[in-house]
Amino acid sequence: MKFDVITVELPNQVKLQYVEQGNSSGLPLILLHGYADSWRSFERVLPHLPKSIRTFALTQRGHGDASRPVTGYRPLDFENDLVGFMDALELNTAVIAGGSSGGIIARRFAIDYPNRTSGLILVGSPLTLQDKPFILDIWTSTISNLKDPIDPNFVGEFIKSTLAQQVPQEFLKTMIKENLKVPARVWTATLRGFLEDDSSKELNKIKTPTLIVWGDKDAIIPRSEQETMLERIVNSRLVVYPDAGHALYWEEPAHFASDIVAFIKTLDH
């Protein structure tokens, strides 16, 4: 499936890239990729989403072929870009879906802009990264002092650690290539921002309907954190994918798309 990649410049001069599909009158859905990825993280999901949903897959600052400003890689900065993106496209509200660390940005948006969040989808998303042995180890050993050029073998191993099922080799190569576009300083600054994030303390402020999706073979994020989010977010529901890993939307794109569609059908709009 061929996608037209569009560039938009925000008022802060940051240029983001995105792909759009669906009817312009459909309910907007914005897909936020995880750490070091790009809009292409959802390339396998998009063909399974109906035209009745106006879907945007966004490449965030510092990632893919978006602008790479010198500073501004905290969740709050990514959130501000999301506001600017919605304003630029005249989207008053949208369902915000975040994969992995993209879920931290999505929930930050839902906390700060409840009236602009018509639904929230958290996919393999951490409650916090501050206590994850895998993340803390990779931060201390590698990412905190990462230098360009980044070793493709490191990226390949990093990506494979998120998987429990086979995905097409071509797609895997694409995602490694996308990760390698991210400069070392952005890898470092972005993970530092996620490690400092404490939005998990504000989850009770989220009132919008929320779908929490998690694979039970996720080697990074434990089920206990999903249960905690389920308890703290009032109007939430947890869906567990048997035998799926952290990047479950890469592994089971049709399944994930069907859950998005079912969730959106439950929303009042």
Judge whether residue 1 has pLDDT over 90.
no
241 within 8 A of 198, measured Cβ to Cβ: no
Judge whether residue 250 has pLDDT over 60.
yes
251 within 8 A of 162, measured Cβ to Cβ: no
Which tokens go with 93?
């509200």
Q: What is the pLDDT of residue 131?
A: 86
164 within 8 A of 217, measured Cβ to Cβ: yes
Q: What is the pLDDT of residue 268?
A: 65
CA distance 226 to 86: 28
CA 108 to chain centre: 12
pLDDT digit string, tens, across residues 163-183: 999 999 999 999 999 999 999
Domains and CATH numbers, the chain: 6-265 (3.40.50.1820)
CA distance 207 to 58: 24
Judge whether residue 25 has pLDDT over 60.
yes
The alpha carbons of the chain give a radius of gyration, in whole angstroms, of: 17
Which tokens go with 229?
């989010």
- Average pLDDT of the chain is 97
pLDDT band at 23 (very low <50, low <70, confident <90, very high): very high
Among the listed residues 102, 128, 91, the one whose alpha carbon sits nearest the alpha carbon of residue 8: 91
pTM, to two decimals? 0.97
